[in-house]
Amino acid sequence: MMESGDGLPNHCAIATVTIHACFVIHYVGVVIIDAVVQVEGITKLYRGVPALRDVSLTVAPGITGLLGPNGSGKSTMIKALLGLVKTQSGAGQVLGHTWPGDVRQIRDLVGYLPEDDCYITGLVGVESVALMARLSGLAGTEALRRAHEMMDFCDFGEERYREIQSYSTGMRQKLKFAQALVHDPPLMILDEPTTGLDPDQRAAMLSRIGTLARRHGKSVILSTHILPDVRAVCDNVIILVGGTVRVVDSLENLSRPSSPTLHVTTLGDSSGLVAKATDAGFLVLQSDDGSLRIEGIEATDTERVWQWAAETQTSIRRMQPALNSLDKIFMDVAKGPQSLLTNDATESLNAGQ
């Protein structure tokens, strides 16, 4: 069979899914069409203790990072969407199907990579993936062919014929990814897929996720507490803290400062440049590493900064538009609902609730 250039067969590249309802959501000034997930009012109690508190959220097509500290409700949210735990309240749509009423149909359209290992002792890798394909409705020969295709995509060699209990953590994560993808679902929900991976394995996993979304049109919900993974591949971000939604926004919006800001790195003394910018009415913040943030100045007005540098004999090493740190946004949001940093994030909090 012909392949699409990245290890997946062409039918994956052109696979489509019928969306039975078209949602148009006005969200933080952006129109989101064909929402993958739209749910409202989800509450889940464990022995009277809330794990999810009146959660409402919308997931757009593309890659969405589901962020939160340990115990924030990420895994519970995923299991609720898949009908693996029963909630006390909540309703909505997933891939055009009514949730939770049509949860069986929803499961057919979702590839799920759980955080914990899931395999049958004694099976070799390719047998396990083929079993998942057969459970999804593929016949034996077709299931085995698909299993090999997915294991090729996940960079398995001869180890696909080894028993799974002999696999390393990295190989088991790849196996779970192949199992989640084998039935060619339009939506993948990945719970901590890079946990336990070394840097090379992690980069390869993120590359696969990006390939599925950018080249094959799949949507991905990436549940993680690893912020660099979100920065690397995600289009949108949802932040859960204490079982509540604190932020639903695009990564681009979250990264954009509330006012235009330049990040300037200098060589040597920068006090003269700071004085010039301050005298001109701009707020200048100096980081621990000595770099400067000049707030209120447009990225198109860099010529003025170069002029100040020339007048004060300041050597500029780098100058670029400043972005908010996702790490700082996450840390501030985790502290409480009043600590959101960006102009769009506060609106996102209100809309997401």
Assign residue 197 the CATH number of its domain.
Answer: 3.40.50.300
| pTM recorded for the entire structure | 0.73
Task: Measure Cα distances from 28 to 120, 148, 173, 251, 347 in Å.
Answer: 45, 43, 35, 13, 6
pLDDT of residue 320: 83
Same domain, 185 and 313: no
pLDDT of residue 189: 97
Same domain, 50 and 159: yes
Range of the structural domain that residue 298 is part of: 258-321
Assign residue 270 the CATH number of its domain.
Answer: 3.30.70.100
Same domain, 68 and 98: yes
Same domain, 316 and 211: no
Same domain, 163 and 277: no
The reply to whether 348 falls in a domain is no
The reply to whether 58 falls in a domain is yes
Same domain, 67 and 188: yes
pLDDT of residue 198: 92
Same domain, 157 and 295: no
Beta carbons of 56 and 352 less than 8 angstroms apart: yes
Same domain, 106 and 132: yes
Same domain, 235 and 296: no
Cα 176 to the chain's mean position, in Å?
A: 18
Same domain, 178 and 224: yes
Looking at 210, 238, 254, which one is the last position of a domain?
254
CA pair distance 321, 327, nearest whole angstrom? 18
Looking at 214, 231, 254, which one is the last position of a domain?
254
Tally of structural domains, the chain: 2
Question: How does pLDDT run along the chain (353 residues), one tens digit per residue?
Answer: 445 556 665 444 323 222 222 233 222 333 344 799 999 999 999 999 999 999 999 999 999 999 988 888 999 999 999 999 999 999 999 999 999 999 999 999 999 999 998 889 999 999 999 999 999 999 989 999 999 999 999 999 999 999 999 999 999 999 999 999 999 999 999 999 999 899 999 999 999 999 999 999 999 999 998 888 998 999 999 999 999 998 888 888 877 766 778 889 998 889 999 999 999 989 888 887 778 888 888 877 888 899 999 999 999 988 887 766 676 777 777 776 433 333 333 333 333 33
The reply to whether 333 falls in a domain is no
Looking at 230, 254, 278, which one is the last position of a domain?
254
pLDDT of residue 5: 55
pLDDT of residue 340: 37
pLDDT of residue 321: 78
Beta carbons of 56 and 42 less than 8 angstroms apart: yes
The reply to whether 337 falls in a domain is no
Q: Tell me if the bond preceding 100 is cis, omega within 30° of 0.
A: yes
For tokens 């679902």, name the residue: 185
Same domain, 17 and 150: yes
Same domain, 24 and 117: yes
Tokens of 94: 């997933």
